[in-house]
Structure 1
């Protein structure tokens, strides 16, 4: 390969991604200013691609294949720049509007991230490319929600600003060997979950590894809120359809339960300073029986866990689950190769790339599932379809405002450190949320 690696409520409820057989075309075509990968000779051209997926992740594996295909068919060279999710989340507003902007980049979806960049003109609309390549036909209603943003940056309507080529959701990873060693049953509802965690604590084992410094604990907080919520609450929280009651049963249960779990020793005080990578490694290394996180970890778990049997299950006893279409490909306003960027995006939607993504432990949006035979991949797809069958995908907690990711992490750290009570945490979150959302209702 020639690429270089350098450091660097209707819409919500409507048929979210279901992994069934999808028809895909790789015809590209050459309408407008776009061209299919095989329709032009770009020898000597360089396309700068940025993402934050590891080489061993399903997305990293599939996108490396897409780069091979792209370079072979176009003659162009890919300059692959890898970054960290946290770093890009913090810098994209400035980076994408500068001379250092990549030509195409993975970016976080949602109102406070991609929506904010769309509303301020930092990423380009892709309506013409969607028409040329037929991407809309490959995205189900629950997936295309995160690709469209209106003039205020609210998802679900307006122009196309990004292309998701995989799905994702959050679930419970567990160490079957540790459950067997201590004679503890894998939980099937929240009561049995708490009983299992107490049984581990009684044996001197911290049952649930997480990170309050980064996203895992915030997503756990959201899952606990969702366990008490319905779709109308999700619409209010994510789409601003009505005011969110920050003293109501959903948020009160989430913050109060986490505070109780820290006090009970179910979550270690060390979580305050841990990154997502720290928490994931604790689980991978067999140091914790449970880890609540996303499907983006799945391929790595399969490759890195060699000393115990891993199991996966949806959060016990709930209907709603954090999840959506995956992060999206966007084209920065300062892209030097916007047309070639569209060609690359289209390659990532090819059936062979999508099938590889699925075989590697990801959740493709445009694959024929008959092409995916791996048992581990099928297990993940089955778990995901359980969520879809109950219309469970409920997006992510940090989406409502541009700063809510950091705000939520800060509050989670306060809960772990004992610096704030559950009620104080809810008041802080309300203030952060309403300071932005009040003007959008």
Structure 2
């Protein structure tokens, strides 16, 4: 569901209060916190996810190499940080290091506001830049307007991610459905499920997943020039043009055809994923961040993945960024922790738990399914097929996209109305930037 302003405000006040309670104690002194004895670290990955497992190991290694330093790890919700990051990082209760979403509307906005530490020099000194391919570095750099792709380095990812199609092999076999290789075959497969009384897609319309389906459909008609125009502001974007029109119209058609349930407008990402693990839906379109969790939790049926049929461009990028707030009291410790997450032992662990490492030893990845996951990412990345995410271009665009796609699901908006709605804040942001 879309949260009301009053709920968000209440949540922000509660979070601020909790921050005041957890920020007590000496976190060190000096610009880089050279004498700090505490590292406060936040991230929002589940403990059984690939990132959660790998970062727990990184914390263990950090403690071993920093005797006398306490690590205060606090798990946060994605939405909690997404909605309140600006307020949090502008306070004296900012953590020393945290996971944060990449893109113009998130890390770019905070860098523009002066809330993130410039990591350019540290990245070059420690060799982080050399471990990241040029396409992965796109999301780490932001110019003075907070636009990604150039400028200073404000974050470091230690994994990659991309959107794919997860499928229940038992349900595919039961209904005699083959893995599709084209969009037409994909729709034919979903028609088969609908005729059998099965809703094909597990969808979370209240958060990010539904808008990623819309974007996958738009990318079916897009090329790299469109992505650069939309994401990097290289040229004006026509929101009624063939790419976005196809995405919105086809998404609306999928709802009418029964591929997407109308009640999914109120479903959150977590509930979408749980429904798939319970075998209630044959297909789920979402990111590689689910992969390790599914490998751990799905016990009752075999499952697999395939890339969105027919597309050469896919939502995806580097993973979320480790960022160091300007108000961090232990910056040197934060840099040391980032360095540990790039070590082979952490990278290999990430890869063997269903993640997509950026600097692993390929020979050390032992599971065939994990190798397939990593190989598919390498295929997309090496062919310049990472198209980022639909909510990245403008501040506040995440909620705009959620609301727009919800309108397509519940039928309150036509595709044209939806596109007009999401076009306005995008164009307003361009005006604010003087572009």
Distance 1:239 1:92, change over 3 A: same
Name 1:72's counterpart in structure 2: 64
1:262-312 CA-partner distances (Å, limit 9, x unpaired): 111110011100000111111111000000000000000101111111010
Name 1:128's counterpart in structure 2: 121
- Secondary structure of 1:363's partner? coil
Name 2:80's counterpart in structure 1: 87
Equivalent in 93, 99, 122 of residue 92 of structure 2: 99
Alignment of 1:145 with 2:128, yes or no, is no
Equivalent in 338, 350, 362 of residue 357 of structure 1: 350
Query: Which consecutive unaligned segments of at least 5 residues does structure 2 have?
Result: 1-17, 20-29
Distance apart, 1:34 and its partner CA: 7.1
Distance apart, 1:391 and its partner CA: 2.0
Alignment of 1:286 with 2:279, yes or no, is yes
Alignment of 1:220 with 2:213, yes or no, is yes
Name 1:418's counterpart in structure 2: 411
Distance of 1:79 and 1:33 partners within structure 2: 20
Equivalent in 297, 310, 319 of residue 304 of structure 1: 297
Q: Name which of structure 1's ranges 396-405 and 385-394 shifts more when overlaid on structure 2.
A: 385-394
Name 1:49's counterpart in structure 2: 41
CA RMSD of aligned residues (A): 1.6
Name 2:155's counterpart in structure 1: 162
In the TM superposition, 1:1-400 aligns within 5 A as 45-75=37-67, 76-400=69-393
Name 1:22's counterpart in structure 2: none
Query: Which consecutive unaligned segments of at least 5 residues does structure 1 have?
Result: 1-6, 9-31
Distance of 2:50 and 2:199 partners within structure 1: 29
Distance of 1:64 and 1:122 partners within structure 2: 26
Distance of 2:307 and 2:379 partners within structure 1: 8
Distance of 2:246 and 2:124 partners within structure 1: 45
Name 2:26's counterpart in structure 1: none
Distance apart, 1:357 and its partner CA: 0.6
Q: Name which of structure 1's ranges 405-414 and 387-396 shifts more when overlaid on structure 2.
A: 387-396
Structure 1 contact 34–343 (Cα < 8 Å) conserved: no
Structure 2 contact 135–381 (Cα < 8 Å) conserved: no
Alignment of 1:438 with 2:431, yes or no, is yes
Distance of 2:89 and 2:102 partners within structure 1: 15
- Secondary structure of 1:217's partner? helix
- Secondary structure of 2:46's partner? coil
1:1-30 CA-partner distances (Å, limit 9, x unpaired): xxxxxx98xxxxxxxxxxxxxxxxxxxxxx
- Secondary structure of 1:224's partner? helix
Distance 1:340 1:389, change over 3 A: closer
Structure 1 contact 33–339 (Cα < 8 Å) conserved: no
Distance of 2:204 and 2:141 partners within structure 1: 31
Distance of 1:386 and 1:148 partners within structure 2: 23
Distance of 2:94 and 2:383 partners within structure 1: 40
- Secondary structure of 1:163's partner? coil
Q: Name which of structure 1's ranges 121-130 and 273-282 shifts more when overlaid on structure 2.
A: 121-130
- Secondary structure of 2:99's partner? strand
Name 1:12's counterpart in structure 2: none
Distance apart, 1:385 and its partner CA: 2.5
Distance of 1:331 and 1:50 partners within structure 2: 11
Structure 2 contact 135–384 (Cα < 8 Å) conserved: no
Name 1:14's counterpart in structure 2: none
| TM-score, normalization by structure 2 | 0.91
Structure 1 contact 34–132 (Cα < 8 Å) conserved: no
Structure 1 contact 400–437 (Cα < 8 Å) conserved: no
Query: After TM superposition, what 4+ stretches of structure 1 lie above 4 angstroms from structure 2?
Result: 32-35
Distance apart, 1:100 and its partner CA: 1.5
Q: Name which of structure 1's ranges 117-126 and 369-378 shifts more when overlaid on structure 2.
A: 369-378
Distance 1:329 1:67, change over 3 A: same
Structure 1 contact 218–412 (Cα < 8 Å) conserved: yes
Distance of 2:50 and 2:399 partners within structure 1: 27
Distance of 1:352 and 1:140 partners within structure 2: 20
Distance apart, 1:136 and its partner CA: 0.9
- Secondary structure of 2:332's partner? helix
| TM-score, normalization by structure 1 | 0.90
